[in-house]
Amino acid sequence: MLEKVDLTKKLAKTEYEKQISKLQVRLRELEFQLFNARVPALCLFEGWDAAGKGGAIKRVTQMLDPRGYSVFSYAAPQGKEKTHHYLWRFWRDLPRTGHLTIFDRSYYGRVLVERVEGFCAVEQWRRAYREINEFESHQSCFGMVLCKFWLQISKEEQWRRFKGRKLDPYRSYKLTEEDWRNRAKWDQYFAAAEEMLELTSTPHAPWTVVEANDKYYARVKVLRTLVAAIENQVN
């Protein structure tokens, strides 16, 4: 699946600015429609390090009323999170009715980083596919809009962005030793991502693979997909 993604797709800056503004205005309108219709919406982002998840999230929220959305970012579980089922901390942060919630990384870490790094047993991450599908089915039956984005970049593009961060004093903090370790396991993460997309893309919670070598194109595709999903639910 990922090998067939066309990463040459681009969008000119002028066209990007035109489209992004229009989509942001529409999303703000839909934010109020979600509230009036009492419909919850969950938008989650996964993808390669430096794929542009943060930039995409910024454009999603840029024109929204801050009372109507929340953003949660997840790393390795800490403290009491370790004493619960791995889905517990995500249950706590699910959107209430009429609210949009964004997950910057998510419970899919179970079948990505935890799988590749050996943080859970093989039978645990294999069982997680069914657990996650059931979890998302429950939310869909509740009426929740579910948008899942995988931001795909090439290995060469990731290298270019890593070097750019390393040389930029204002962005060097974004590059960590963990990023380099993950890059060294590119093939393993690639295989894990492919299987994840295959086994957890369902009619009620489909994955959208975003061609993200060009950030302009990626941001517009994310906004367009999210707008269409919400419109389909509230109209």
Query: Residue 167: pLDDT above 90?
Result: no
> Is 172 contained in some domain?
no
Dihedral pair phi/psi, residue 22, rounded to 5°: -60, -45
> Is 170 contained in some domain?
no
> Is 235 contained in some domain?
no
Write out pLDDT tens, residues 95-154.
Answer: 999 999 999 999 999 999 999 999 999 999 999 999 999 999 999 999 999 999 999 999
Give the whole-number percent of the chain exceeding pLDDT 90: 91
> Is 176 contained in some domain?
no
Dihedral pair phi/psi, residue 65, rounded to 5°: -70, 120
> Is 169 contained in some domain?
no
Q: What is the DSSP string of 22-77?
A: HHHHHHHHHHHHHHHHT--EEEEEEESTTSSHHHHHHHHHTTS-GGGEEEEE--S-
Residue with tokens 């991450």: 125
pLDDT (average), residues 16-24: 98
Residue with tokens 């999210």: 226
pLDDT at 176: 85
Q: Provide the domain limits for residue 193.
A: 2-153+185-230
Q: Taking a C-beta distance cutoff of 8 angstroms, is the pair 221, 11 a contact? A: no
> Is 175 contained in some domain?
no
pLDDT category of residue 235 using cuts at 50, 70 and 90: confident
CATH number of the domain that 111 lies in? 3.40.50.300
Residue with tokens 């309108």: 29
Query: Residue 80: pLDDT above 90?
Result: yes
> Is 160 contained in some domain?
no
pLDDT category of residue 1 using cuts at 50, 70 and 90: confident
Residue 167 one-letter amino acid: L
pLDDT at 221: 98
Residue with tokens 């957890």: 200
Q: Taking a C-beta distance cutoff of 8 angstroms, is the pair 212, 10 a contact? A: no
What is the tally of structural domains in the chain?
A: 1
Distance CA 140, CA 200 (A): 14
Tokens coding 101: 């919630």
Query: Residue 81: pLDDT above 90?
Result: yes
> Is 143 contained in some domain?
yes
pLDDT at 171: 84
pTM: 0.96
Query: Residue 172: pLDDT above 90?
Result: no
